[in-house]
Structures are given as structure tokens and as C-alpha cells.
């Protein structure tokens, strides 16, 4: 099985911490910081799941990680409002010029991690690895189109 690092090539993972959803009145810089913190945490969780697979953890043992990732995946569409195109960000302008394309990438991401959560909750260890690989491929698919290198 391809390792997760190959699927999300170029992604940097460091630090940790919970994030607060920015208020609608939040400054663009705060929204950018919050979305990056969310993505960073998503990266950490994905690495933990990958490590779990390497250690032959059961699907049931992954439920909490998958639930958190899935919850955070559902936030992504709201994290790119007008005014957050520039600043300390690697978001590509295509997010704003091709919103339908960006939303489709986000929907595919959520759909595949929703499926992974169902598999984890069912304790289906055989199905877990292949579905994780499929779900993780949606990360790279979006990054290739909508994230600067
Ligand atoms: C729908 C698009 C999309 C999907 C799906 C997506 N990302 Fe991202 N990701 C982005 C964008 C855009 C950025 C850049 C955000 C910025 O710099 O403002 C980013 C940034 C990141 C970062 C860097 C955070 C930082 O420290 O600045 C990591 C790590 C990351 N994503 C991991 C993942 C992982 C792992 C997945 C899948 C489990 C994933 N992403 C799915 C669009 C996406």
C-alpha cells in the first residue's frame, strides 16, 4: 500500500493544538491562521492514522481520529471567505475564481472521510486501509489545484 506521505507530497506537519472557529467579524489574518491551524491538525491526524495502519491497529481503534478528521474536513469550505486571498497563505487564487471546482474538491474529501468513519465505526479493519488511501488521495487532489507549493 502506498504510504500516506506519498499521497500528500510536500505537506509539512508540525506542532498541534485545538483551534477556535473564527467569528464572522474576524480579521482576514485570523481566519487564515485558523484555517492553517485546522489543516495542520488534519495533517497530524492523517499521519497518526497512517502510523496506526503501519502498526496494524484495528479499524475500531481509529474511530476517534477519523471522527476528528471528518469533523474538521467539514469546516474547509467556510475557511476561504472574500478578503482572505492574500497574506500569510498558500491558498491559490483559483479558490476564488473557480469556487465550484474548489467546493467539488471539498465535497469529495468530506464524502470519502464520511465513508471511512462508517467503516471505522463498523470495525471493518479489512476495508479501512483501502478506504483511507482513497480518502487521503482527495487531500493531494485539492492541493494540486488549489494550494501553492
Ligand atoms: C478542498 C481542498 C483541500 C483539501 C481536500 C485538503 N486541503 Fe490541505 N490545504 C488546502 C489549502 C488551500 C491549503 C493552504 C491554506 C493556507 O495557506 O491558507 C492547505 C494547507 C494544508 C496544510 C498546511 C497547513 C499549514 O501549516 O499552513 C496541511 C498540513 C494540509 N493542508 C493537509 C491536508 C490533509 C492531510 C488533507 C486530507 C486529509 C487535506 N489537507 C485536504 C486545501 C485542501
Using CB distances shorter than 6 Å, the residues near ligand 1 are: 8, 11, 13, 32, 35-36, 39-40, 42-43, 46, 76, 89-91, 102, 105-106, 109, 136, 138-139, 142-143, 146-147
pLDDT of 97-142, one tens digit each? 999 999 999 999 999 999 999 999 999 999 999 999 999 999 999 9
In a domain, 2, yes or no: no
In a domain, 19, yes or no: no
* Rounded Cα–Cα distance for residues 33 and 2 (Å): 31
Mutation test residue for ligand 1: of 6, 84, 143, the one with most atoms within 8 Å of CB: 143
Domain count of the fold of the chain: 1
The per-residue pLDDT for range 19-63, each reduced to its tens digit, is 455 556 689 999 999 999 999 999 999 999 999 999 999 999 999
What CATH number is associated with residue 136? 1.20.120.10
In a domain, 114, yes or no: yes
Range of the domain at 112: 27-146
Please identify, by atom number, the ligand 1 atom nearest to the C-alpha of residue 12.
29
- What would the grid cell of residue 6 be? 506519498
Q: Is the pTM of this model over 0.75?
A: yes
Q: What is the 3-state secondary structure (H, E, C) of 127-149?
A: HHHHHHHHHHHHHHHHHHHHECC
Amino acid at each position: 500500500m502506498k504510504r500516506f506521505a506519498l499521497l500528500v507530497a510536500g505537506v509539512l506537519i508540525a506542532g498541534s493544538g485545538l483551534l477556535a472557529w473564527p467569528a464572522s467579524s474576524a480579521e482576514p489574518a485570523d481566519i487564515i491562521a485558523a484555517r492553517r491551524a485546522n489543516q495542520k491538525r488534519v495533517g497530524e491526524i492523517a499521519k497518526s492514522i497512517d502510523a496506526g495502519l503501519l502498526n496494524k491497529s484495528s479499524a475500531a481503534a481509529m474511530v476517534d481520529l477519523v471522527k476528528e478528521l471528518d469533523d474538521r474536513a467539514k469546516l474547509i469550505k467556510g475557511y476561504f471567505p472574500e478578503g482572505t486571498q492574500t497574506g500569510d497563505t498558500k491558498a491559490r487564487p483559483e479558490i476564488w475564481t473557480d469556487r465550484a471546482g474548489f467546493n467539488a474538491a471539498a465535497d469529495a474529501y468530506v464524502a470519502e472521510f464520511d465513508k471511512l468513519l462508517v467503516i471505522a465505526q463498523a470495525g471493518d479493519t479489512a476495508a479501512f486501509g483501502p478506504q483511507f488511501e482513497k480518502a487521503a488521495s482527495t487531500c493531494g487532489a485539492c492541493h494540486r489545484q488549489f494550494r501553492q507549493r
